Amino acid sequence: MTLQQPTSFLDHRLAAFFAPNNPELAQIIKQLSRALSEGHSCIQLDADQQTIIRNNPSEAWVLDDDLLYFSRYHQYETQLAQQLKRKAAPTEPLGLDAQSLHALFNDPLQQQAAELALTKQLALITGGPGTGKTTTVVKILALLMQQHPHATFALAAPTGKAAMRLQESIANSKAQLTDLFPADLLDKIPHQVSTLHRLLGARPLTPEFKHHAENPLSHDVLVVDEASMIDLALMSKLVNALKPNAKLILLGDKDQLTSVESGAVLSDCYRALADNRVELQTTYRFNEQIKKLAHAVNQQDAEKVLILCKEAEKADSQAVIGLKNVQKASELSGFIQRHYRAYFDQVTQVQTEQDILALFQTFNQFKILSATREGEFGLSAFNQLAQPGLVTTQWYAGRPVMIDKNDPSTGLYNGDIGLCLPNIHAPNSDQLKVYFLLADQLRAFVPSRLPSHQTAFAMTIHKSQGSEFAHVMIALGNQLNSQTESLVTKELLYTAITRAKSQVTLVASDSVVKQCVSNAIERHSGLARRLT
């Protein structure tokens, strides 16, 4: 396998610890360490390398056939494969005649997804944005409740932002289904969505959770959205914490970015579990030009991407805008300030909780997405450009923040978004509070109480997963360097484009677009092999 980055200081230190006097073994350990940091769960060894490992056994690593793992990740993968295979096999009676099912689902693939979820303990429902995944799963939950009135249900997502978005989508879908299901039945569908860390019971200063095989979750049915974001370790712990007969429904877009940490669990499962998957394909809620752009990226058709941008420019389209001659981020200052003007105007009018809820809606109208944190087109530069010009303090009314570290003591988790505003309960004071919308409720914190966080006018494309905005500006710049060329992939660009509901502004030169679209992520793992 080819690694994207040279080995790091940590890789060398680890190799020196395990193989101080064995250069050949040290080289393999460095490769394994580097692979893990790049998201692979293992590396494939040739015959000579396998011999070196067999001659140097250790509890720190496991050679499984031709794949070498650190022991912990081998345990995660084998445990997850065993649990998923056990869940994938059982089949239950449908409990509903085909005619009744057809009456609920006009789309044959949505009907197939319902049949899958009703009859299997494990269901993978994938599809791009606007393909009806949430509406389909709400109908599925209603049918399951009719068949199992005493069953308990839970909804979850990897991040706070993804959880909030699923919560909104569930509420909207329930409102549209009142002619198909009784109101009291729809009311029983959970309206709160938890993050996975909240659901499992994260514990401070430890990677372990309250819920596990010996203390499983009580729910009979668990629906998890944005499953592509879930790494190997977390998915293993999640599945291990389910009751033996619990039903697991995973929703996601297999073409999005894989998890930041190791593994590509959703895509591995999709490849290996053909009897447990359905991919929805008909788009119901997505701008047609943005859909074409995303499809071209996904097909790695760089010329088509460039043509679509040029055609949109000639047609004076507002859906897709290409800015390919931007040399510095500062050239976008006026553009950014204009798009945040309505937000800052609204900040000055906030007096009630309803005002804050409305402000969250306005804030989500526009978002800057970057591939990197630092650099000319990194999020730090754009966060600086977006803030009001006269700001001289760290905290000011209107500053948005994103939590970047889980903190069970406050109930704030990685990805949660807060808005810094005057304290609405002390309007005559100068006190500022940071308001978060969590589980359908506003919670306020003094700024000093927050765990690790960052300003969030701009966010990395990785962090944007699970989010949706009316308009996204995707900032890739006019050239790549050694640090960014391995980060910028077709999955990254596809993910960024599909965050937008109505408008995409792509800030990238033609050469950067071509490099990006031609570069695809390939994660090495043994999960798909174990599942077949």
Show binding-site residues for ATP. 127-134
**Strand pairing category for 453-455 and 400-403:** antiparallel
β-sheet bridge partners, residue 400:
419
DSSP string, 314-362: HTT-SSEEEE----SGGGGHHHHHHHHHHHHHHHTT--SHHHHHHHHHH
DSSP type of residue 284: S
Comparing C-alpha atoms, which of 154, 157, 167 is closest to residue 222? Answer: 154
Integer CA distances (angstroms), 14 to 20, 29, 254, in order: 10, 7, 33
Q: At residue 340, what are phi and psi to the nearest 5 degrees?
A: -105, 0
* Cα dihedral sign, 345-349-350-352: negative
Q: At residue 523, what are phi and psi to the nearest 5 degrees?
A: -95, 135
- Answer yes or no: are the C-beta atoms of 508 and 477 closer than 8 Å: yes
Residues 6+ positions from 422 with CB-CB distance below 8 Å = 350, 397, 429, 430, 431, 432, 433
CA angle, 405 as apex, 399 and 408 as ends, to 5°?
105
Distance CA 485, CA 255 (A): 20
Extract the annotated binding site. Answer: 127-134
DSSP string, 382-422: HHHHHS-TT--SS--TT-EEEE-S-BTTTTB-TT-EEEEEE
Integer CA distances (angstroms), 266 to 215, 269, 408, in order: 25, 5, 27
- Looking up tokens 């939950």 gives 141
H/E run at residue 122: strand 122-127
Distance CA 86, CA 76 (A): 16
Distance CA 220, CA 151 (A): 6
Q: What is the 3-state secondary structure (H, E, C) of 220-263?
A: CEEEECCHHHCCHHHHHHHHHCCCCCCEEEEEECCCCCCCCCCC
Q: At residue 60, what are phi and psi to the nearest 5 degrees?
A: -80, -20
The SS3 assignment for 441 reads strand
Integer CA distances (angstroms), 392 to 122, 263, 388, 397, in order: 53, 42, 9, 12
Neighbours of 121 (CB within 10 A): 22
- The shares of helix, strand and coil residues in the chain, as percent rounded to the nearest 5, are 40, 20, 40
- Answer yes or no: are the C-beta atoms of 289 and 319 closer than 8 Å: yes
